[in-house]
Structures are given as C-alpha cells and as structure tokens.
Structure 1
Amino acid sequence: MAYDRPGAAVEIVPVSTPRELERFIRLPMRLGAGDPNYIAPLMLERREALRARSNPFFDHADVQFWLAVRNGRDVGRISAQIDHLNPQTKEGYGNFGLIAAEDDPEVFAALLAEAEAWLKARGCRAALGPVNLSTNEEVGLLVEGHDTPPMFMMGHDAPWTGARIEAQGYVKAKDLLAYQCSVADDLPESIRRRIRKGPAEGVTLRMLDMKRFGEEVRTLTGILNDAWSGNWGFTPTTEAETKQLATALKAVIDPRLTWFAEIDGEPAGFMVLLPNVNEAIADLGGRLLPFGWAKLLWRLKVKGLKTGRVPLMGVKRRFASTHRGQLLPFQLIDAVVQAARKQGYRSYELSWILEDNQAMRRICEAGGARVYKTYRLYEKALA
C-alpha cells in the first residue's frame, strides 16, 4: 500500500519472500551504523527467530512483517502479531513490534497505520508494543540508556523512535527496567548472615546438569510459568519455545552460572546468568563468516567475557511467601555471583523488571543494583 504524503510516497510492502526478509533484518543495521553503542545482532540468529519453520512462536500466533520503501529504498520496518496464548489477546489486544525507521514522521505514520489496520481487521481493539515478537522475547522500546551498548538479547532503538510513536497517538502502558549490578557488591549483612547459616532444612541448591539438559529445560519451564503467572502481560511459554531457545543458547550456557533451588525435593526456583555475547560480537557486523566463528569462539572460550545478563529468574508462587522461599532469591543470587566472580566477571544486568514489581525491585536494590536502562511499552485504542 502506498501512502501519499508531501514529497515522495511511502510504499508499505508485506514481507513475503526470503529476500524481503533479509532486507527486513538488515535495515536496523544500516540505521544503527552511526551509533557507537549499537551492536548488530547475528544474522544467523535473526533468520532463525523470524522464520516460522524455526521459531515455535509462530505455531500459536498470527504474524505479518512489512517494509516501508521510498524511492526504491528501504526506510522502515514493522511487524504486527496476535499471540493466541497471551491472556491480553482475550481483552482485545494485538501487538506491533520490530519497529525501526529513519527519523521521518511520515514513515512512522505509514508503518503504524498499516499494522493497526491489520490488527483491526482481525478483531483487535487495541495495539500494544513494541513486542518483538513474543512477550517472552524482546519487549519494549529503549527510552533511557542510549549511552551504553545493549546486553545480549536486549534492544537498542534509535533515540527518535519513542517521540515518533507517541506522535501517532500512543501512550505509555508500562515501563520495564534494566538493573546494572557489580559482582563486587555484596548482599546486605543481615541477609549474608542468614545465607552463611546454610540452606534451611529441606532446601537444596544445585547447578544445571548438562547431562540432563532436556529434563532441566522442562523443569525451568515449569518454574517459570508458575513464578511469572501473576505478572502483568505474562504469556505462558511453551515447552517447544523454551527448548528452541535453550538449544540455540546451549553453546554459551555455563552450568556454573545456572542454578536451581529445590524444597523438599520439588523444583522451587532458578536463576540463569548468560554470558553477554554482545561483548564478543560487537565488531562482527552481524556476520560469522569468514572469520567471525573463530573470533566468537576464542572470545567465549579462551579470552572470556566480563559481563553477563540475568534474563530469567523465579520462585514458584506457593513457596515465595514461605519462610524458606523468601530467602531463595538471595541464595540463588549469591551462588551465581560467587561463580561469576571466580570466572572474572565484573558486572551483570538484571532485566527486565516491571516498574511496579516492588518485590523484585527490592531484591535487586538490596544488592546495590541500579536502574540504568528503561524500556517502554506503548498502547493505543483502535477506534
């Protein structure tokens, strides 16, 4: 569809071929080329994430991608999706995501209008985003924290994007926070004293067992879906999605940085710290060939990384308010951070944390963590 505005028309092209998908993936790399903090994701990973045959998210969602083209040149992109497992879908919400464009209000207007029309045609009464693609993947637009590079699997949006979205009638729905933590920081002494006493009776902490990787992934999925079930906007993750993500990350997962907690033999909590792969790929330009693989493996396995990210952490809800369960998050943090220190890590990120999740924010801040990036979800009623 072409949008006739002052100047050249903006044409919105549905992505329907592998070549168009390749253009869709590459566009943000061109837009971010002048930003010293932008890190191009690996093309291989992006292709896997955005193809229906390799991402099980497409099994339970309707998805469409578009490119904005002006004078034969790609100037923007957007997705729209309806996740049928997301409870908000029943409330009339659909999502837009993967939005990136040149700093041109006409391009943003055309992209958002196309996504909104697609959602409305499928019965949605409101649009929420950016969601890229699932609420269990990348969520929110970076609105504060452009002065530092993003961590692994985190977005780094052009600074003009928020204003352009708001100009199309979108308002803040929720902010999500990223905390920066130093491995040199200790938990408060009152908590350290309790940890030094050792786990309470019936509580066991253990590292990830790579020999039982499939079983461990199923255990993590069960804890995650229970622990996060009360969070705003949470969508249960399927075992296929967790398996696909875990398989993709298996080469970089360090069992010494992934811990489980059990209470009376039942899986009760977990924490995962992933090496910040962005630290290793910052100069690869998204390419692993011809020499990117060698550089990546050397940096991961030989040189070692200094930063990491905690994307997943949780305690089952029925344990969270008990005496033994209340200490579990701190015990898991202590176990993971001690292991990270031994491996030379300097800092890690805890993300995302809902702005009104006071319980989790208190846990983060108890160890000296500070908010250093803010991601925003926007919403708009579709009249």
Structure 2
Amino acid sequence: MSNLVIRPVTTTADRKRFVDLVWDVYRDDPAWVPPLKDEMLGLITPGKNPWFEHAEAALWLAERAGRPVGRISAQVDELVLQHMGAGTGQWGSLELVDGETEAGPRLIATAEDWLRTRKMTRAVGPFTLSIWDEPGLLIKGFDEPPTAMMGHHRPGYEAVVEGAGYTKAKDLYTYELDIRIDMIPMVQKLIDAGRRSKRIRMRPVDKSRFDSEAHIILTLLNDAWSGNWGFIPLTEAEIAYAGKKLKPIIYEDLVTICEVANEEGVFEPAAFMITLPDLNELTGDLNGKLFPFGFLKLLWRLRKPRVKRMRVPLMGVASKYQGSRLASQLAFMMIEECRRASVEVYGASHGEFGWVLEDNQGMMSIAQLPGSGINKIYRIYEKAL
C-alpha cells in the first residue's frame, strides 16, 4: 500500500511548506533562480493578494512520512468564468521532487475533483495563480535561467500533465534578442518619421506621480490586451497592488508612454512599454530571503543596476489603433528608446520580450527584430471534466 498522503494546505505553516518545496525540487538545477519567499507567500495568501477578492483557491501538499514531495493548486475565478466561459476552472503550482511518479497524477486528480465540486466542466492550466502571474508549463528552454516574472520547470512535467488526459490549449513564446544590434534601415525610417510627427508624443514615465502613471499604464493594458485569448481584466485593487510592487523596480528611462492627438488635437495615452532589469540577476544569490541582510543588498543593487539581460513583461497599444501602421510605429519607437537606454545606461547586452501568444501575429511580427528568436515556450493545457 502506498504511503503517499495528499492533504490540503490550511495553515500559515502549511503555506510556508508549500513555498519551500521548490528548494527540494530545484536545488540541483543550475538554471533555477530561487524566488523571494515573501513574494510567493503573499501571492497565495488571502488578504494580501487582491486576486482573492474575485477568486478562490485550494492548495494541496503530497507527503511521504511527513515530507512534502509534491504540490498543486486549483482555482475558480469569477472573472475567468466571465471571460473564458462558464465552467472554466484552473489549476497550477504543480511541482514534484525528482523521482516521484505517483504524486503527480494524484495531485492533478485531487485538483480536478475540487473543481468538479464547484461545478466546473473544464480545467485549464497551469496558472500560478492567474494569467498575470506565471502562466503555462515550460516545455522549451530548460537550460536557460528564467527572467523575472517567468516560471521555470523540470523536464518531465509535460508527460505527467498529458498522461492525465490534457491537450494543448495555447503556447506562449518568449523572444530573446541581442539588443546591441541596431534597427534595420526600414524600421529606423519608421521610427524617425514618428519622432518628427506632431501627432505623436513619446515620454518617459514620471515616478514623482507614480500612482497616476501606473493607472494610465494598467488601464491601457486592460484595453490593449482585451482581445487576447485568456485575457482577464485587472481590477482597480489589482492595479493598485501591481503598481505598488512595480514601483521599486521601475526606472524612468525604461518605461515609455506614447500619446497620440485625437481629432480635436487633445493628446491621449495610446501605447506603453515597460522594460525591467532582470531582477533575477539581482536576487539569485539571496536564496529567497530578504531578511536580515538580503533586503539591504537588494536596495543597494537597485540603486543603479547593471545587468546582462533586460525584460519587457508588458507592452500594449490601444485597441483602436491595433492593426494599423501607427501601432507598429509606436511599438518600434518605444522599443528603440528603451533599447538604447538598456545598453548605454544599464550595460545590458540581451533582452527578453514576452510572453507572446502563439497566434498573436501583430506582436510576433514586432518581436521578430534583428537577432531575435524564440528562447522559451510555455504551454497551457485544457481538459473536459
């Protein structure tokens, strides 16, 4: 008889064990970057993460003789039900220690049973906890460390998930590129024309009025991404929460807002791009701990970061301009502005752009800059319950 036990996470101590498990899973993986434990605990704790205002989640640990050997979550989100269809439940956070073969299928079955009790008829995942956090299962790019805000997984999970009856719903791509390479002449001409245009105004974000700037950006995000598969709008509380988390790692010369004059000549926000120094390069040696000394180290490093990689986690053009020449022009103008700052000010040589949905042709055409290529693929799965 198996001595594997699947039990729900119910206490603060349980949540800490849920987070700590990844150290057992990845301690020998040279590509793994330890996450900040406080960030991970905040993500899964009701009352700290405003996602819980419109969603509920259940967490489980798989244990042998009291030792955690696996974990999983299941989620039901009212906004997912509205935007992805009634009966759509989600799961995520799947992790298994090396050599564990029994826990994976049992954890997935446990998550599915919980979703059925909530009358869900379809399971989609993995999401930790939402599409705005760490979506998808890594299926390509295991040997390269993840950039900030992207997940990392061991090879083998794909077989576990597909063995449980799941099929591909959508792939998410990230593109890596050498940002020391100049734009091709045709694109540079488009950028130069945009800079001369009296209809377009491009500016850096103003951190002295960060709350209002964050609201502009995240409101644009909700509009720009509204037609994408899997899109879930950020609530006002989530916008405020995201702004608070992003502020310490926002640099004015790396975040750009484009404004376009409307028919009355009034300039309105039309596009944005957020570029971040790869935070994982600055936190990797902290082993997930900010206290007692990690916080001071990180503060010092954030004062004037020098990194190899930059990441563009979010970019968007207002929906009314999408598909137009102007949309491409605004995107390339912002990319060039941040590219130059990344190289000249922060010493970066490479950037990562994404994630990008596999069928988002507009964003894929922009991501395919000189010297770029797909470096990671994350897969989202689905199954009828």
Aligned residue for 2:297, secondary structure, equals helix
Range with greater deviation from structure 2 (67-76 or 102-111):
102-111
Range with greater deviation from structure 2 (69-78 or 290-299):
290-299
- Stretches of structure 2 that go unaligned for 5 or more consecutive residues are 262-266
Q: Distance in 2 between matches of 1:319 and 1:212?
A: 27
Structure 2 residue 117 is the aligned partner of structure 1 residue 115: no
Alignment match, 1:307: 309
1:307-337 deviation line (CA, Å, top 9, x unaligned): 1211100001111234433311111111111
Alignment match, 1:98: 93
Of 204, 229, 232, 1:232 maps to 229
Alignment match, 1:213: 210
Q: Distance in 1 between matches of 2:27 and 2:151?
A: 15
Per-residue deviation, 1:199: 4.2
Q: Give the letter for the 1:305 counterpart.
A: V
Q: Distance in 1 between matches of 2:83 and 2:2?
A: 38
Per-residue deviation, 1:297: 2.6
Q: Distance in 2 between matches of 1:75 and 1:146?
A: 21
Alignment match, 2:359: 356
Per-residue deviation, 1:15: 0.8
Per-residue deviation, 1:90: 2.8
Per-residue deviation, 1:88: 4.7
Q: Distance in 2 between matches of 1:370 and 1:321?
A: 23
Q: Taking structure 2 as the reference length, what is the TM-score of the superposition?
A: 0.94
Q: Give the letter for the 1:19 counterpart.
A: A
Aligned residue for 1:269, secondary structure, equals strand
Superposed structure 1 runs of 4+ greater than 3 Å apart: none
Of 293, 298, 305, 1:296 maps to 298
Structure 2 residue 126 is the aligned partner of structure 1 residue 130: yes
Q: Give the letter for the 2:223 counterpart.
A: D
Of 78, 84, 91, 1:84 maps to 78
- 1:89/1:9 Cα in 2 relative to 1: closer, same or farther (>3 Å)? farther
Range with greater deviation from structure 2 (165-174 or 295-304):
295-304
Q: Distance in 2 between matches of 1:309 and 1:17?
A: 35
Per-residue deviation, 1:173: 1.1
Range with greater deviation from structure 2 (276-285 or 83-92):
83-92
Of 9, 15, 21, 2:9 maps to 15
Range with greater deviation from structure 2 (127-136 or 80-89):
80-89
Q: Distance in 2 between matches of 1:374 and 1:334?
A: 25
1:100-140 deviation line (CA, Å, top 9, x unaligned): 01242310111001100011111111111001111111100
Per-residue deviation, 1:368: 3.0
Of 200, 216, 233, 1:203 maps to 200
Per-residue deviation, 1:223: 0.8
Q: Taking structure 1 as the reference length, what is the TM-score of the superposition?
A: 0.95
Q: Percent identity?
A: 40
Question: How many residue pairs were aligned?
Answer: 376
- 1:89/1:118 Cα in 2 relative to 1: closer, same or farther (>3 Å)? farther
Per-residue deviation, 1:158: 1.2
Of 48, 63, 66, 2:60 maps to 66
Alignment match, 2:264: none
